[in-house]
Each structure stands twice: as structure tokens, then as C-alpha cells.
């Protein structure tokens, strides 16, 4: 029950993502829905609404908004996270992804592999930032954090 069963991404008011970013988004959503770990921790003496959960992600007023509802649609939580702690890692991730997509078109496999290793390292850093920002609000494993970071990165494009 501690999982995400559906995800909505509000991309209204944002420039269209590049084809590569759109592909990254599709893969992240698919992988996220296939395998994830997402739980709301107990707070005070309140009962924790049971999952599975529906997530809606949006950028509003330069903040990441995460709406959480139960599978039936009953809203259970909403988080507003500053994008400040994500800015540098998203910028680095965007740059390394652009290098990677360019390399795939023209470089030998050994050079592509080196760039991909760097990309994975930055991706992991973004996931760790997300886990830190959600501490006390939601509990997620590293793979879930990586996939959500990908979606945050795509959402942040152009903002």
C-alpha cells in the first residue's frame, strides 16, 4: 500500500519540453508506476491515510507543489518545496543530459559510457536532495527519488 499508483504532471504555463526530455519523462513515469516506495510518516497522534497514492506535481510561484491523494481521489496532503536547493543540481543534470544526448549521436561507446556515469552521479545527487527535502513529509527509496527527480527536472525546464 505504500506506493504511488498514479501521477499527474501539470505542465501548463511551461514551455514544451524537448523530445529527449519528453522521452525521459515518459520513461520515468512508466518506471515509477512499475516500482516505487512512497509512504506518509506518522505525525503527532494523527492516523496516516493509507495508500496507494495519487501524486500531482506542479511548479507554482517558483515552488514545487506535490499534491497527494488516496487512490479514490481523497486529498491527504500537499507539500510546497522551495526549488532553491534543486537549482544547481538541476542545471548540472540538464547540461550533462544535453552532452549525453549529443554524444549518443556522434561519439564512440567508451566516451558515451563516461558521460553516462557522470549523468548517473548527478542524478543520484538530485535524488538525495529530494529525499532530504521530503524528510518528515514522505518516505521514499532512492529509485523512487531518482524517478521523481527526473520529473522535477523536466518540470523545472524553462522556469
pLDDT tops 80 at residue 36: yes
Q: Cα–Cα distance between 72 and 57 in angstroms, integer?
A: 18
pLDDT digits (tens, 9 = 90+) for 128-145: 999 999 999 999 999 999
Tell me, what's the pLDDT at 31?
96
- The domain spans of the chain are 4-156
pLDDT digits (tens, 9 = 90+) for 144-159: 999 999 999 988 875 5
Q: Cα–Cα distance between 35 and 49 in angstroms, integer?
A: 20
Whose cell is 521530503? That residue is 134
Amino acid at each position: 500500500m505504500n506506493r504511488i499508483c498514479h501521477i499527474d504532471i501539470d505542465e501548463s504555463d511551461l514551455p514544451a519540453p524537448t523530445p529527449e526530455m519528453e522521452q525521459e519523462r515518459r520513461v520515468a513515469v512508466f518506471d515509477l508506476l512499475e516500482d516505487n516506495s512512497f509512504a506518509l510518516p506518522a505525525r503527532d497522534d494523527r492516523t496516516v491515510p493509507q495508500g496507494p497514492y495519487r501524486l500531482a506535481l506542479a511548479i507554482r510561484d517558483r515552488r514545487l507543489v506535490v499534491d497527494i491523494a488516496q487512490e479514490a481521489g481523497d486529498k491527504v496532503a500537499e507539500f510546497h518545496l522551495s526549488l532553491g536547493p534543486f537549482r544547481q543540481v538541476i542545471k548540472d543534470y540538464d547540461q550533462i543530459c544535453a552532452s549525453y544526448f549529443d554524444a549518443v549521436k556522434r561519439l564512440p561507446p567508451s566516451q558515451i559510457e563516461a558521460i553516462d556515469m557522470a549523468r548517473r552521479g548527478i542524478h543520484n545527487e538530485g535524488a538525495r536532495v529530494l529525499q532530504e527535502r521530503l524528510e518528515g513529509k514522505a518516505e521514499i527509496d532512492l529509485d523512487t527519488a531518482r524517478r521523481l527527480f527526473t520529473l522535477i527536472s523536466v518540470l523545472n525546464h524553462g522556469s
